[in-house]
């Protein structure tokens, strides 16, 4: 039996499917996907999306993006908004462990022909300058005072200490600093885990890629973004490292214990949550926001490390920032729902914000065309730049997908591929991979992911975001 038939899904728009409430569901489930992507989704995606729909105070629908796959509590690619005035909750599982993992893209102003003679040297220099891998440590050591300042200040803290420029903050969500962060809610263990990890990529699906703009779909938006076919860009994908993971772990344990005290019946312990207006809910939001700031500061530091490498090999190319987007967040936002503006807390797990043209939170230079939406693919297929749309607000609280989405587990990938094999095959295609772990490369083999172009086409057809450009990898530094 197909997923459509088994789950009772009804096509309700372009690449949009709806499941009516049943059982304890308070709202429908809405999945954005082509039929092929929908049929390829694991059964757990639908189960988790239904479970999210049972949570108190959920508004409108439990959404899943085209790259949705099984996650912890929420599906990865899950989007849900909660109203504090209606008993809405915040869920650590709805944010995830790698708080504010995200992507930022830098413009180099270089054409490929200028880069090509330096490609090997550039790959080696980037790998040498940016620590990557499980447990990787950077050169920065934060004492307690500086740790607190970083958790409160985010990318602004980093810029004030010489890592980047003021202009970078204008092209970063929240202007580089998430308001409402409460460092006092972060445990000593979380702080200790992060003490030597600033300016590091980490492991898993994190990467730094040098990419070529291979195709442009919307010339007008591309000009506004500063990209053209044949340009070289650099994309950085990483998050809050050990600190974010520790915050998620600790608050999930507390939420599991406290949920029954608030009369919350959990269909799955992984959906542990707390009312937004409760002491625990407010404490988690304060801690989670420090995780966002940690991730923003981390990507800002790595940006400076990348610029230092390019300054040595390609003087005169300052690498301005196109944009920095986060996923794995819960953000307080105002949205139009049922004819009125409502203050909501939007969980985006493995999903990114996609504000459309005219949104006041966008930089003035980008406001006319909409927010850049940066979609990471696998190291063998490529990535995309999209732009937010006006209709995305009504579709899914101005949200879009964040990547290709895994098609198989990391364990299954290592049974199928060997790291050296992947490195050699990509090198034969002109893609240089640098990684401290061949096992990590095998886990992230291109074949372990869905086809990113199918995911992007689905988001485009659904109206979540509009295609602007396709990027292909030339150099990939993997964790």
Active site residues: 402
**Cβ proximity of 264 and 92 under 8 Å:** no
For residue 276, the SS3 value is: coil
Q: Over 443-476, what HEC string results?
A: HCCHHHECCHHHHHHHHHHHCCEEEEEEEEEEEE
Q: Per-residue DSSP letters for 54-70? A: TSTTEEEEEEEEEEEE-
Strand residue runs (E) in 370-435: 372-375, 383-388, 399-401, 432-434
For residue 155, give the nearest of 169, 144, 135 by alpha carbon: 169
For residue 272, give the nearest of 433, 72, 126, 453 by alpha carbon: 72
Q: What's the rounded Cα separation, in Å, for the pair 295 and 323? A: 14
Q: Per-residue DSSP letters for 226-270? A: T--TTEEEEEEEE--HHHHHHHHHHHHHHHHHHGGGGTPPPSSGG
Q: What's the rounded Cα separation, in Å, for the pair 4 and 43? A: 11
Say how many Å lie between the first and final Cα of the chain, rounded. Answer: 39
**Cβ proximity of 336 and 359 under 8 Å:** no
Query: Within 13 Å and on the Cβ side, how many CA atoms surround 343?
Result: 6
Q: What's the rounded Cα separation, in Å, for the pair 124 and 426? A: 16
Angle subtended by helix axes 279-313 and 241-258, to nearest 10: 170
């Amino acid at each position: 039996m197909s997923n459509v038939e088994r789950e009772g899904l009804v096509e309700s728009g372009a690449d949009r499917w709806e499941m009516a409430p049943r059982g304890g569901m308070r709202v429908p489930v809405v999945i954005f996907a082509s039929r092929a992507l929908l049929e390829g989704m694991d059964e757990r995606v639908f189960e988790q999306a239904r479970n999210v729909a049972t949570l108190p105070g959920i508004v409108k629908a439990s959404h899943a993006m085209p790259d949705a796959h099984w996650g912890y509590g929420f599906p990865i690619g899950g989007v849900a908004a909660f109203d504090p005035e209606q008993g809405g909750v915040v869920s650590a599982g709805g944010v995830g462990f790698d708080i504010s993992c995200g992507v930022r893209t830098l413009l180099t102003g270089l054409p490929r022909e200028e880069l090509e003679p330096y490609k090997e040297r550039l790959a080696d220099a980037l790998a040498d300058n940016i620590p990557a891998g499980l447990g990787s440590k950077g050169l920065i050591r934060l004492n307690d005072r500086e740790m607190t300042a970083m958790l409160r200040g985010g990318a602004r803290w980093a810029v004030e200490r010489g890592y980047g420029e003021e202009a970078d903050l204008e092209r970063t969500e929240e202007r580089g600093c998430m308001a409402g962060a409460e460092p006092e809610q972060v445990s000593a263990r979380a702080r200790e885990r992060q003490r030597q990890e600033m300016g590091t990529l980490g492991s898993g699906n994190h990467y730094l890629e040098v990419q070529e703009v291979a195709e442009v779909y919307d010339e007008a938006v591309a000009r506004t973004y500063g990209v053209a076919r044949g340009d070289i860009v650099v994309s950085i994908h990483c998050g809050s490292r050990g600190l974010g993971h520790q915050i998620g772990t600790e608050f999930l344990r507390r939420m599991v214990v406290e949920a029954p005290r608030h009369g919350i019946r959990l269909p799955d312990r992984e959906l542990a949550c707390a009312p937004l207006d409760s002491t625990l809910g407010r404490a988690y939001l304060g801690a989670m926001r420090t995780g966002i700031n940690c991730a923003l500061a981390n990507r800002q530091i790595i940006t400076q490390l990348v610029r230092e490498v390019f300054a040595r090999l390609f003087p005169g190319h300052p690498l301005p920032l196109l944009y920095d987007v986060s996923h794995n967040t819960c953000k307080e936002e105002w949205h139009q729902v049922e004819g009125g503006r409502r203050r909501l807390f939007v969980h985006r797990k493995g999903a990114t914000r996609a504000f459309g043209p005219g949104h006041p939170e966008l930089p003035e230079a980008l406001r006319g065309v909409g927010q850049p939406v940066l979609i990471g693919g696998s190291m063998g297929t490529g990535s995309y730049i999209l732009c937010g749309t006006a209709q995305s607000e009504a579709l899914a609280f101005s949200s879009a997908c964040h990547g290709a989405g895994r098609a198989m587990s990391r364990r299954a990938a290592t049974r199928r591929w060997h790291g050296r094999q992947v490195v050699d095959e990509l090198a034969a295609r002109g893609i240089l991979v640098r990684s401290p772990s061949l096992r990590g490369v095998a886990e992230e083999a291109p074949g372990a992911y869905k086809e990113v172009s199918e995911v992007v086409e689905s988001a485009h057809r659904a109206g979540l975001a509009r295609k602007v450009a396709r990027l292909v990898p030339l150099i990939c530094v993997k964790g």
